[in-house]
Structure 1
């Protein structure tokens, strides 16, 4: 045991790996913020489409949701990064254009996270909309609002207030799932750690610091979400 501990080089790894991990945290934050924004927009559109659109659109959205929820996020990331550009090239070729479309790793990662989480979050948003009393729709219509105005000014603000804790949990999950972006060559925390560990063989030290980096990102955010959930519950009680 003493020999094992004496062979660990946490100080050395700290000096060389930590600056790289700090840069990687910036990549993780960028991917998470943009991916979460895309997920919110997509989830809201899917939820509204499934509630208020025509039958054909509802069927299309249902099939799309089944495809996304039935395949792993990692497969979706790889598909977007490697396959989608080839499909777009084939479509362009059908119309007589020769293209060489490329998707950057980070763009593929953000798109994959946004689409995957957007499909799951759409159910949460849809449930939030359904939870609003039907009388509020009728009251807003009686004031001369159209459906878009009712959703924008009356229903969605209340729905999002009710589902903030659930969306916050998805945000924490997305931060941790950014580790999958390493498999499409995004230079985030995991890929940086893998590269360093393979070059130095400081495996224990490197992956320990990697785990700590994710804990530093996710644990405080989780407690913030719990605090927000507590405040919302207290405000509802006071009402």
Structure 2
């Protein structure tokens, strides 16, 4: 009961609000940059999986299994701590004095983009396969090349059909930015942890953090649902 009587949400909220706003901006930046990268990677992998090259398909399948078979947190830590060392080991064969590091934000953005890109690739690939092949055949009959028919006719429809699923992954990504705290990105979770460790207002701090994520994710999810309904209405 003493713990309940000593709760001070007002003090925690006033002190945390500026930090949470700063952390929110970093989380949004990481989400936007990571999601753009994920879409690009997803489209490229999807196209690679649909190519006739067995070697390319095999490489991509192995890569997808590795990424989807390991936790995102492990991938973020690997990207931040290990990948720069591997790059240095390779380059130092030619330039012994070469030094290289990722900033925490860049490592986080790359980790999120690659991880989500692998999942989005299956969404895009399925969307491409769902497009009636007669449209491609008609485009070829009109003088389009395979590449032109893919990018001008098939891909726009596939991306449009994928938007609802993309929206779900976008909401997931903004919540997964909390994992960036483990590679020292000063986002919402890390700032809350710092404040809670300094003030011992543990219940208040993490409750406010949870509410902050709800305030972010619930309206975003609603916007995605409205967008999905609009696309279905005009589909």
> Which of the five TM-score ranges fits, normalised by the shorter chain?
over 0.9
User: How far apart, CA to CA, are the structure 1 residues paired with 2:150 and 2:27?
Assistant: 33
1:77 corresponds to 2:76: yes
What secondary structure sits across from 2:50 in the alignment?
helix
User: How far apart, CA to CA, are the structure 2 residues paired with 1:36 and 1:6?
Assistant: 43
Aligned counterpart, 2:166? 167
Contact 1:193-1:210 within 8 A present in 2 as well: yes
Aligned counterpart, 1:192? 191
* Offset, 1:234: 2.7
Contact 1:165-1:229 within 8 A present in 2 as well: yes
Which residues in structure 2 correspond to 1:64-143 (within 5 Å)? Answer: 64-143=63-142
User: How far apart, CA to CA, are the structure 1 residues paired with 2:146 and 2:197?
Assistant: 57
Structure 2 unpaired stretches of 5+: none
1:17 corresponds to 2:21: no
Q: CA RMSD in A?
A: 1.1
Contact 1:86-1:101 within 8 A present in 2 as well: yes
Which residues in structure 2 correspond to 1:144-159 (within 5 Å)? Answer: 144-159=143-158
What secondary structure sits across from 1:52 in the alignment?
coil
* Offset, 1:163: 1.2
Q: How big is each residue's C-alpha offset from its partner over 1:89-137, in whole Å with a ceiling of 9 and x where there is no partner?
A: 1101222432110100000000000000000000000000000000011
User: How far apart, CA to CA, are the structure 2 residues paired with 1:127 and 1:46?
Assistant: 12
What secondary structure sits across from 1:94 in the alignment?
coil
* Offset, 1:53: 4.4
User: How far apart, CA to CA, are the structure 1 residues paired with 2:141 and 2:64?
Assistant: 34
Q: How big is each residue's C-alpha offset from its partner over 1:138-186, in whole Å with a ceiling of 9 and x where there is no partner?
A: 1111122122211211011101111111010000000000000000000
* Offset, 1:199: 0.6
Aligned counterpart, 2:50? 51
Q: How big is each residue's C-alpha offset from its partner over 1:180-210, in whole Å with a ceiling of 9 and x where there is no partner?
A: 0000000000000000000100001100110
User: How far apart, CA to CA, are the structure 2 residues paired with 1:186 and 1:21?
Assistant: 13
* Offset, 1:233: 2.5
Segment drifting more, 47-56 vs 213-222: 47-56
Contact 1:77-1:109 within 8 A present in 2 as well: yes
What secondary structure sits across from 2:37 in the alignment?
helix
Contact 1:81-1:103 within 8 A present in 2 as well: yes
What is the TM-score normalised by the length of structure 2?
A: 0.97
User: How far apart, CA to CA, are the structure 1 residues paired with 2:162 and 2:14?
Assistant: 42
